[in-house]
Amino acid sequence: MNVELIPHVGTASFRLGMPFDQAMTEAPAWGRVDHAPAGGRPPGKWVVLNEPYDFEFVLLFESERHEELTGIEVWRFRKESADIRFLLDGVDVFRTPSEDLVQLLESRGHEVVESDYGFDEVPALGLRFANNSSFEYPTDDEGDPLYYDYVLLSDPKQT
């Protein structure tokens, strides 16, 4: 399965700016809602766990007043054999070594900056990449993760 990561738009059937109720209607197609804030309405984070592929979408609703999807976190699958690809302009962001992905993005004219928190960000695309889970993924000779395990899609115009 291929899942497109579309900057400033969204991923899978989730779209930035999508109303909360519509996002919750789409969620079961991607997995079960594994975690939701008390009260059941925004603001907060809703975790959609896809068990067949063992990955997560975290749907961010940061405004109580507007109840619109403001960000989508995608957490990498945990099984290396998973038959799923998360594609950004044709490139698998979770199977391309992170250093190579940064170079590829820069070669395509995108500025990649390291944030104060250690994330690699592509501000013009509203993307943030990180290696920040506690799961064991493939590492290089120094023990550093080879791949990103997290990507955040957001659109500053909508927050």
Structure tokens at 148: 């990103």
CA dist list (Å): 69 to 34, 40, 117, 144 = 17, 14, 23, 33
- Quote the pLDDT of residue 68: 95
Tens-digit pLDDT profile for residues 115-158: 888 899 999 999 999 987 666 777 778 877 888 999 999 976 65
Per-residue pLDDT band at 159 (split at 50, 70, 90): very low
**Which residues constitute the domain of residue 10?**
2-158
Under 8 Å between Cβ of 14 and 23: yes
Residue 102: which H helix or E strand, with range?
Answer: helix 98-107
The average confidence (pLDDT) of the chain is 91
